[in-house]
Amino acid sequence: MVALPQLPALVVGQVSHSRRMPVRHRFRYRTYQWLVDLDHLPRRRFSAADHLGKGPSLKENVATFTAAHGVQLAPDDRVVMLANARSLGYVFDPLSVFWCLTSTGAVRCVVLEIHNTYGERHAQLARPDSADRFTLGKEFYVSPFFPVAGRYEVTLRLDPERVAVAIDLTQHDHRVFSAAFTGKTRPARWMHRLGVALRTPFPAYQIWALIRMHGVWLWLRRLPVIERRRHVPPDGV
C-alpha cells in the first residue's frame, strides 16, 4: 500500500547524474517537482497536451496508455503524477512518473514517460515488485552519447515525507550511467510555492539549459555521437 502526502505537494530536492563510461562525469543541481492527483490538478499548471496521448485530460491519457499495454484502470483508481509544472507557458520534463493506484492504495502499475530535447516522447509501463523496483529495456534515444540498447534498473519511493526515483543504465553488463531525483514533500501552500520559485524561478528552462551545457562538455571530450533515428511512439502516446 502507498501512503501519500497531502496533495498537491511540492517535492523539493536535487537531481544527480553520474556517467561512468567511457569518461567519468558527474553533476547535481537543486530543483523541485510537483506531486499531484490527476483528479484534482492545480489550475493552469498542467496540460493534457504535455503528456502521453491526445486525450482531453491527463487521466484519460494515462488510462488510454495503460489499456493499450494490458492494464485497465477502474473508475475509482487514483493516478498520482510526479512532474514539472509549466512556467511562462513552457514545460520540459525529461522524466514524468505516474503511479496508478487502486482505491485501497495498492499499486496497479507505474508509467514512466520520457522526453528528449528533440521534441520526442516515449512511455513504458511497469509493475514494481515488493521493493518498488523494476527493470525496463532502453527503447528511446535520450542522449546522443548512448546507443538505444541495454536496460534500466529503476527504484521508486513514494511516502508522505519523501519521494525518490533512481535509475541505473546497464549496457553490456556494465553500469554506465545513473540518474536520481530525491526530495522532501512540502504542502503546495503559497509560502512554499514562493520559496521554491525564488530559489529556482524557471525549472523547465534550467533543466533544458543544463542538458545542453553538459552535452557540449561531453562533445568537447570527443565522445562519439550516436546517430538518432526517427522514433515511433508506442501505442497510447
Q: pLDDT per residue over 130-161, tens digit each?
A: 889 999 999 999 988 899 999 999 999 999 99
Q: Are 151 and 134 in contact (CB under 8 A)?
A: no
Is the bond into 42 cis (omega within 30 degrees of 0)? Answer: no
Residue 212 included in any domain:
yes
pLDDT at 192 over 90: no
Residue 53 included in any domain:
yes
Residue 47 included in any domain:
yes
**What span, in angstroms and rounded, lies between the C-alpha atoms of 132 and 116?**
25
Q: What is the pLDDT of residue 196?
A: 84
Residue 236 included in any domain:
no
Task: Quote the number of domains for the chain.
Answer: 1
pLDDT at 230 over 90: no
Residue 43 included in any domain:
yes
pLDDT band at 191; cut points 50, 70, 90: confident
Q: State pTM to two decimals.
A: 0.92
Residue 86 included in any domain:
yes
Q: Are 162 and 182 in contact (CB under 8 A)?
A: yes
pLDDT at 208 over 90: no
Q: Which amino acid is at 68?
A: A
Q: What is the mean pLDDT of the chain?
A: 91
For the record, the C-alpha cell of 13 comes out as: 530536492
Residue 159 included in any domain:
yes
Least confident segment among 13-22, 55-64, 150-159, 206-215? 206-215
pLDDT at 165 over 90: yes
Report the run of H or E that residue 198 belongs to, with start and end: helix 190-199
For the record, the C-alpha cell of 156 comes out as: 521508486
Residue 169 included in any domain:
yes
Residue range of the domain that includes 35 = 9-220
